[in-house]
Amino acid sequence: MGTAASWWILASFLAVPLVYGAFRVTGKTGMAVVLVLAGGLSFLMTLAAVQEAYFEGEFSLMVRDKLGSQWIAHRIASGCLPVVLVSIASGLRRRWSKQDSV
């Protein structure tokens, strides 16, 4: 059980290669693969957070009592970070490519 900040940092570090891939990949197929990978990573991180917070029996009760709902919300939101960052990167790349072609 880490702090909320440590989960945000971990999610950021895990998203860096995917964001780099979103900037470097050309073509719709490559971008779709990067988005699917980011979505899968986000899904797994969020699923792990929900499992730890709600489906671990006594441990889940301890987490909710001791750390509270803010920690759970941060943990779930940090799991969504990779797909959000890749989406932003792909949108920026598309915008920049349209500006270069004009």
Residue carrying the six token digits 């780099």? 20
CB proximity list for 47: less than 8 A, separation 6 or greater: 79
Residue carrying the six token digits 């509270």? 68
Residue of 90 and 99 predicted with greater confidence: 90
> How large is the average pLDDT for residues 55-81?
81
Q: Where are the domains of the chain?
A: 4-97
What is the pLDDT at residue 16? 94
Per-residue pLDDT tens digits for 13-59: 999 999 999 888 878 888 899 999 999 999 999 998 888 878 877 87
